Structure 1
Amino acid sequence: MSYPGYPPQQGGYPPQQGAYPPQAGGYPPQAGGYPGQAGGYPGQAGGYPPQAGGYPGQAGGYPPAAGGYPPAAGGYPSQPGGYPAPAGGFPPQAGAGGYPSMPPGGGGWGAAPGGYGAPGGAQQGYPAGPAPGQPMPNYPAAPANTPSMPAYGGGVPSNPQTPAISKGYRGSIKDFPGADPLRDVEVLRKAMKGFGTDENAIVELLGSRTNKQRVPMVSAYKTTYGKDLAKDLKSELTGNFENLVLAMIKSPSHFDASELREAIKGAGTDEACLIEILSSRSNAEICEITRIYKAEYGKTLEDAITSDTSGHFRRLLVSLCQVAAKLYAAGENKVGTDESQFNAILCARSKPHLRAVFQEYQQMCGRDIEKSVCREMSGNLESGMVAVVKCIRNTPAYFAERLHNAMQGAGTKDTTLIRIMVTRSEVDMLDIRQAYVKAYGKSLYTHISGDTSGDYKKLLLKLCGGND
């Protein structure tokens, strides 16, 4: 097959034998191809380009149109004629200046007037190919036949580094395009107004909006209707569905603060909730939670924890709060002398650092750090420390285990289920789903479907985002 304006080649690429390059003379000069000419490409005196006014005017180029592109003075030459529309390809055109034309069918570049050569002298072209058996100039030799590891330019690095791969967004809920809180609250108002409640409309709306699109609905509802959205939803909904909906219209830090409040107040303390939140949130998030806690409940989070817990477990929780604030504010923490080494290390180091420490600990001691914690501690302190270790080591696997325990056995721990599904739906829910299937042999979606029901189930499955 040949193209208009390009010379036909005889036989295409010659068959090759052995390694690269195989044939005598490298790339063989072919009739009508690039002739091997002296002078290189192109040898012009005075740099590039040598002519005044832009590119050299050669016979057969594309003459530019008058008044159009390119400009006349000092740049590309402006000459009458424009771009001609040749029939049958691009034959050499007669004209002064402009770009050189494609070569005629029977010759290569520089083989006919108007070719790509040095103006006013001998035609210039590409130099001839290398001598037989020689590598291409300025390029390293090619590998031998069927090499085990081709190594251009001296081989692979002695210590290759795998580039970091960004996993991207791992949440199950994404921004809804063009979402408008004023229009959204109209949907909610219509769903609650009149006789009965359209729960399905609430599920579809809230289940397709991210937190930053849901939270503005609270102020938009008050602006539009002069009423409190949370109170209206409470009056229309019941049970776990109500709790889930109310959780979804709070900001993450407000929701965490309210969950910590519920875990601390009353007769008993939900230690697992305290550990879950304080060990899995970033330093900046914990600082925001403590600020909101003080503003909402008139008491610092640290004081609330201190009054409701005791012993080393209290020290662990207080450390998680204090260290976050100190690290976030100053980037460094000084651990008090009265705290255990486990407490000091687990609360004052970054997650990547601690993962490396856990690995080194196992190599040195021959025992997993989690088992060591269980050997050395007991009760709430053991549970708290183990939870911190698990969360640091593999956060998605930690939350997968928490979800499984919440739904396994008689009854469902709906408070835990709601909290994790709401707080992780825009963080790492896709990773949690993968960890769940790997650990328990069935999908999180399937387990939620079998363990919950009604509108509560529908909205949880929206947060889950799909089956695996």
Structure 2
Amino acid sequence: MSYPGYPPAGGSYPPASGPYQQAPGGYPPQPGAYPPQGGYYPPQPGAYPPGAGYPPQAGGYPAAPGGGFPPQAGGYPAAQPGTYPNMPPAGQSGYEMHRVSRVINVLCSVQPGGGMPQGYPGVPAPGQQPMPMYPGALNPSMPGYGGGVPTGPTPPAAPAVNVRDSQLHQPHQALVCFSFKGYRGTIKDFPGADPLRDVEVLRKAMKGFGTDENAIIELLGTRSNKQRVPLKAAYKTTYGKDLVSDIKSEVKGDFEDLVLAMLKAPAHFDASELKEAISGAGTDEACLIEILSSRSNAEILEINKVYKAEYGKSLEDAISSDTSGHFRRLLVSLSQGNRDEKETVDISLAKQEAQKLHAAGENKVGTDESQFNAILCARSKPHLRQVFHEYQQMCGKDIEKSICSEMSGNVESGMVAVVKCIKNTAAYFAERLHKAMQGVGTKDRTLIRIMVSRSEVDMLDIRQEYLRQYGKSLYTAISGDTTGDYKKLLLKLCGGSD
């Protein structure tokens, strides 16, 4: 299939022989060309997402060729014959060596779904792509969206393995979670994309009589966010015109809103959605909760920075002036971007906090919402999942049902949404999409926001959850609820039918 605006040059663009290989005489990479190596195009100080290559791996080791770790100053010595790689030699920190070896033995003995992938937890097996992670996390169910994604085939996802410390006979009882899932988005970096050639395609599609919407759909629907955002600067540099203004003059309605959403960087898009949710006709409480409960700390901090710069007012002040009571406290807590993001779980603490929640709700005349707020907004998501499990075991009742029976109004819906997002983020978004499309009329703003923001995060998981919950594919649901060019571009983001 040819791509609009990229004329063949001694071959075709992209070349037909093999996936993503440069044909002789094709468009040659130039020094400083797009995409740059090891970073973004163009690199911006303080850009979102932060760092060179996204998502960053806080404290993590980059995978070296061959699957090993590159040598680190002061790191472990090279492996000796008969020992595990990257392990200290005998005699060094015997207690820790014993503990690590027990972890390895347990991991090797647990083989759900046909066995464990090769390699250490968090390190890709031979032939697999590195697993994308956001800062401080080993579980990629919630990475920040945009950029840094593999362009090769997606490795098969293996189930997460939970190793309880009770199996290691350690007194403090921690829960260690490792995940081997690969990239779960539907939009990836387009190999060899050149912003100058891309804007030529867009200009040609909008110039003259009529608009070639299919060319716009084909181009934007095959570029990742970090490849789409620079098109605005490249368009102005090349033609001296504003790309957003030209798009607004050429396309209208929901298709226009979707195209413009795809041209925004993640933090700018989220900030604009929060602004609209607060200052629009009435407050869209569900939008506020959706964004603030599903983004990482780093993403929320960046949203705060952008909101202040764009609108001259802090996000916290905007929330405080438009909401009230315990719902305001919930939103303000979430907007701090200060949730614990450790992956380890102290089971004894989880049991204590399950008891606190029971004492604050079911076991009390009235409800202490502050106790729910303190635990739901501060603790890590793996820890909270264990708290919910302990609550169910202790009370024989799901935490969501307890909240519904003890609270009401916005604070009830807000707390329930936080719990759902923490339990299963993909299922939460599948439900949000279903509600946006069911009944008379479509909540297009919600539909656009979720499809754009999750297309490079977990859209494959959302599709699976949608099919499981509603008995039909998300692709089919979108096809039946939308029309025209708007539908075509949404289906590009969906990525296929299940």
TM value normalised by structure 1: 0.63
State the alpha-carbon separation in 1 of the partners of residues 192 and 454 from structure 2. Answer: 23
* 2:64 aligned partner: none
Please tell me whether residue 237 in structure 1 is matched to residue 251 in structure 2: yes
* 2:487 aligned partner: 457
Where do 1:239-388 residues align within 5 Å? 239-322=253-336, 324-325=337-338, 340-388=370-418
Unaligned residue ranges in structure 2 (runs of 5+)? 1-104, 117-177, 342-367
Q: Which residue, 215, 239, 247 being the options, matches 1:201?
A: 215
Matched AA of 1:387? A
Alignment: residue pair count: 303
CA change 1:157–1:281 in 2 (3 A) is closer
SS of residue in 2 equivalent to 1:340: helix
Please tell me whether residue 219 in structure 1 is matched to residue 168 in structure 2: no
State the alpha-carbon separation in 1 of the partners of residues 201 and 234 from structure 2. Answer: 12
Over aligned residues, Cα RMSD in angstroms? Answer: 1.7
CA change 1:202–1:159 in 2 (3 A) is closer
State the alpha-carbon separation in 2 of the partners of residues 159 and 467 from structure 1. Answer: 35
CA deviation profile, 1:41-99 (whole Å, cap 9, x unmatched): xxxxxxxxxxxxxxxxxxxxxxxxxxxxxxxxxxxxxxxxxxxxxxxxxxxxxxxxxxx
Tell me by how many angstroms 1:160 deviates.
3.5
Tell me by how many angstroms 1:174 deviates.
1.1
State the alpha-carbon separation in 1 of the partners of residues 472 and 441 from structure 2. Answer: 19
State the alpha-carbon separation in 2 of the partners of residues 451 and 159 from structure 1. Answer: 47
Where do 1:55-454 residues align within 5 Å? 160-162=109-111, 164-322=178-336, 324-325=337-338, 340-454=370-484
CA deviation profile, 1:379-415 (whole Å, cap 9, x unmatched): 0000000000000000000000000000000000000
State the alpha-carbon separation in 2 of the partners of residues 408 and 303 from structure 1. Answer: 34
State the alpha-carbon separation in 1 of the partners of residues 468 and 339 from structure 2. Answer: 37
State the alpha-carbon separation in 2 of the partners of residues 166 and 434 from structure 1. Answer: 17
SS of residue in 1 equivalent to 2:326: helix
The answer (yes or no) to whether the contact 1:315–1:339 under 8 Å persists in 2 is no
State the alpha-carbon separation in 2 of the partners of residues 279 and 376 from structure 1. Answer: 21
The answer (yes or no) to whether the contact 2:431–2:466 under 8 Å persists in 1 is yes
Tell me by how many angstroms 1:266 deviates.
3.1
Matched AA of 1:180? D
* 1:144 aligned partner: none
State the alpha-carbon separation in 1 of the partners of residues 487 and 324 from structure 2. Answer: 38
SS of residue in 1 equivalent to 2:472: coil
Matched AA of 2:109? P
Matched AA of 1:440? Y
State the alpha-carbon separation in 1 of the partners of residues 434 and 302 from structure 2. Answer: 29
Matched AA of 1:288? E
CA deviation profile, 1:290-320 (whole Å, cap 9, x unmatched): 0000000000000000000001000000000
State the alpha-carbon separation in 2 of the partners of residues 206 and 294 from structure 1. Answer: 29
* 1:13 aligned partner: none
The answer (yes or no) to whether the contact 1:290–1:301 under 8 Å persists in 2 is yes
Q: Which structure has more RCO (C-alpha within 8 Å, separation ≥ 6)?
A: 2
How high is the sequence identity, in percent, across the aligned residues?
80
Matched AA of 1:395? T
The answer (yes or no) to whether the contact 1:275–1:387 under 8 Å persists in 2 is yes
CA deviation profile, 1:241-288 (whole Å, cap 9, x unmatched): 000000000001100000000000034000000000000000100000
CA change 1:319–1:160 in 2 (3 A) is same
CA change 1:302–1:339 in 2 (3 A) is farther
CA deviation profile, 1:405-437 (whole Å, cap 9, x unmatched): 000000000000000000000000000000000
Matched AA of 2:453? T
Runs of 4+ in 1 over 2 A off after TM superposition: 156-165, 325-328
The answer (yes or no) to whether the contact 2:289–2:418 under 8 Å persists in 1 is yes
- The structure with the largest alpha-carbon Rg is 1
Unaligned residue ranges in structure 1 (runs of 5+)? 1-155, 329-337
Matched AA of 2:410? N
Tell me by how many angstroms 1:339 deviates.
6.6
SS of residue in 1 equivalent to 2:109: coil
Tell me by how many angstroms 1:167 deviates.
1.0
Matched AA of 1:208? T
Where do 1:22-37 residues align within 5 Å? none
Tell me by how many angstroms 1:166 deviates.
1.4
CA change 1:236–1:366 in 2 (3 A) is same
TM value normalised by structure 2: 0.59
Matched AA of 1:160? S
The answer (yes or no) to whether the contact 1:240–1:414 under 8 Å persists in 2 is yes
Tell me by how many angstroms 1:158 deviates.
11
Tell me by how many angstroms 1:159 deviates.
9.7
Matched AA of 2:492? K
State the alpha-carbon separation in 2 of the partners of residues 299 and 313 from structure 1. Answer: 20
Tell me by how many angstroms 1:326 deviates.
7.3
Tell me by how many angstroms 1:165 deviates.
4.7
CA change 1:223–1:411 in 2 (3 A) is same
State the alpha-carbon separation in 2 of the partners of residues 431 and 158 from structure 1. Answer: 25
